[in-house]
């Protein structure tokens, strides 16, 4: 009797998952505990392991979206076939479907390595896979290889002399329609809900980065030597935010129905951009951590986010968020709240600008700061006071060291 492998529950708010990549071929022998596929949800990617040994049967294809609890594979329990060897073979190609055509097997070489999605596109477009050079791992033909070959064929098709050239592109080539990924859909829904369910207002200021840049330059070598990580700007801003949250506790609160929940802890989310989208892992207990511990947490989270191994627990429970658009060149922006939080700080690029100091115009490295807040529970005076406190801490970093 076949043992079914089902999509597991990976969070209370997640109802479906997309099959990302098969790591074991259909019909391959797998051992207990082996990773057979990766699934992607609207928040994280998860690897599924088999809890039985036997012959693997695919019940879904890469790209399929399945409900939580749906069967994605089956295992025919038993010992490994005599000629299977110790290790099961990695996925090289999707299984050939049965066909009535007697020439089906001769149309394609059996040793061609191709992803299931690429094979399907090639079949639909009538493209010979043997004529395509794969750019994937081990020469595997990928979706982009087949799409590129299709466009090349369309461009190079010889036209009869009677056909006149035209400058108008083919209508079907003017747009590309792509289904939103689960993560992108979740981000879209999250942002729309944030604007519909909160009274978002933003206030701005700018800070002089001279002192903090000079401090980093003085201590950077010793800091790296002692802690093994660089001293970045983010740890200063996190500490400044903690200081400001303690000074203006209204920002460290959130709405729940008709109640205001006041937080007495300081878990700060740090936005991390990846190819899959924006993740906001939470640095815990920032009031108790050193600059080095905060920097190490940020490095660890960034690595996990880009590898797709970040967990739901890493993304939950923050009381405030910091986003740094400056790394992409943003001069000024109005960040959107990360519900149910009541505040988010936007950092921006550092620019050398003329400023007036003690009656003289001097050139200083300046950064614009933006605070977006929920005006339902945060008054303008409190928001401005919070941002001014952050500015003071950044311009006078010794305050954070002595608690002034």
Looking at the annotation, which residues are catalytic?
375, 379
Phi and psi angles of residue 103, each rounded to the nearest 5 degrees, phi first:
-100, 10
Closest CA to 212 of 362, 33, 365: 365
Residue 71 φ then ψ, to 5°: -75, 130
**Does residue 304 sit in helix, strand or coil?**
helix
Q: How far is CA 320 from CA 5, 213, 288, 290, in A?
A: 39, 25, 16, 18
Question: Are the C-beta atoms of 351 and 327 separated by less than 8 Å?
Answer: no
**Distance from C-alpha of 236 to C-alpha of 221, rounded to nearest angstrom:** 17
CB 215 within 8 A of CB 397: yes
84 with 29: CB under 8 angstroms? yes
- The CA-to-CA distance between both ends of the chain, in Å, stands at 70
Q: Are 371 and 323 in contact (CB under 8 A)?
A: no
Which residue reads 């994280």 in tokens?
Answer: 44
């Amino acid at each position: 009797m076949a043992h079914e492998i089902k999509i597991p529950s990976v969070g209370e708010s997640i109802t479906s998952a997309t099959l990302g990549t098969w790591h074991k071929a259909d019909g391959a022998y797998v051992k207990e505990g082996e990773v057979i596929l990766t699934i992607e949800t609207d928040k994280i990617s998860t690897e599924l392991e088999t809890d039985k040994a036997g012959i693997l049967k695919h019940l879904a294809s890469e790209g399929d979206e399945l409900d939580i609890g749906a069967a994605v594979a089956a295992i025919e329990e038993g010992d490994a076939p005599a000629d299977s060897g110790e290790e099961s073979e990695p996925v090289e190609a999707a299984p050939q479907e049965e066909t009535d055509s007697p020439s089906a097997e001769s149309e394609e070489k059996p040793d061609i390595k191709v992803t299931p999605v690429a094979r399907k596109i090639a079949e639909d477009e009538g493209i010979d896979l043997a004529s395509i050079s794969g750019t994937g791992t081990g020469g595997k033909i990928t979706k982009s290889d087949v799409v590129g070959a299709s466009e090349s064929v369309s461009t190079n098709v010889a036209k009869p002399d009677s056909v006149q050239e035209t400058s108008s592109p083919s209508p079907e080539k003017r747009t590309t329609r792509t289904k939103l990924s689960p993560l992108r859909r979740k981000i879209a829904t999250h942002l729309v809900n944030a604007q519909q369910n909160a009274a978002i207002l933003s206030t701005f200021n700018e800070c002089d980065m001279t002192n903090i840049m000079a401090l980093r330059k003085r201590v950077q070598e010793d800091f790296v030597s002692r802690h093994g990580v660089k001293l970045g700007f983010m740890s200063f801003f996190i500490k400044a935010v903690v200081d400001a949250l303690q000074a203006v506790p209204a920002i460290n609160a959130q709405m729940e129905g008709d109640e205001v929940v006041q937080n007495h802890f300081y878990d700060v989310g740090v936005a991390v951009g990846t190819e899959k989208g924006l993740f906001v892992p939470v640095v815990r207990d920032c009031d108790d951590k050193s600059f080095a511990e905060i920097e190490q947490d940020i490095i660890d989270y960034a690595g996990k986010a880009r590898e797709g191994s970040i967990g739901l627990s890493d993304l939950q429970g923050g009381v405030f968020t910091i986003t740094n658009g400056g790394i992409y060149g943003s001069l000024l922006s109005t960040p959107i709240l990360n519900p149910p939080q009541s505040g988010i700080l936007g950092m921006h690029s550092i620019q050398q600008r003329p400023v007036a100091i003690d009656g003289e115009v001097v050139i200083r490295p300046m950064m614009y700061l933006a605070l977006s807040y929920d005006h339902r529970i945060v008054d303008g005076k409190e928001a401005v006071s919070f941002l001014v406190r952050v500015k003071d801490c950044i311009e006078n970093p010794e305050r954070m060291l002595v608690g002034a």
